[in-house]
Amino acid sequence: MDLDDDILAAARSIAAARKQTMGKVVSDLVRRSLVTKLKKAPSGLPLLPRRPGVIVTNELIDKLREDEGI
């Protein structure tokens, strides 16, 4: 397996903190990312995860549209 240096360092750090092998840490992280699914609205469209402190309003949407020139 070929991992980028930053990923290898992060896995090594997590493994040390949890007193686990790097293989276990990487397996757990990959497994978690594979099973995480976005919830869907009744329309079938995926819902994005909540962001603490962010409330989406019509005003916010209008501002984002204006900023993007839409």
Which residue ranges make up each domain of the chain? 5-68
CA distances (Å), origin 6, targets 1, 3, 12, 66: 14, 8, 10, 37
d(CA 36, CA 34): 6
Residues 6-10, mean pLDDT to the nearest whole number: 93
**Torsion angle, CA of 17/22/23/25, rounded to 10 degrees?**
30
**pTM, whole model, 2 decimals?**
0.50
Residue range 29-61, pLDDT digits in tens:
998 888 767 788 899 888 887 888 888 899 999
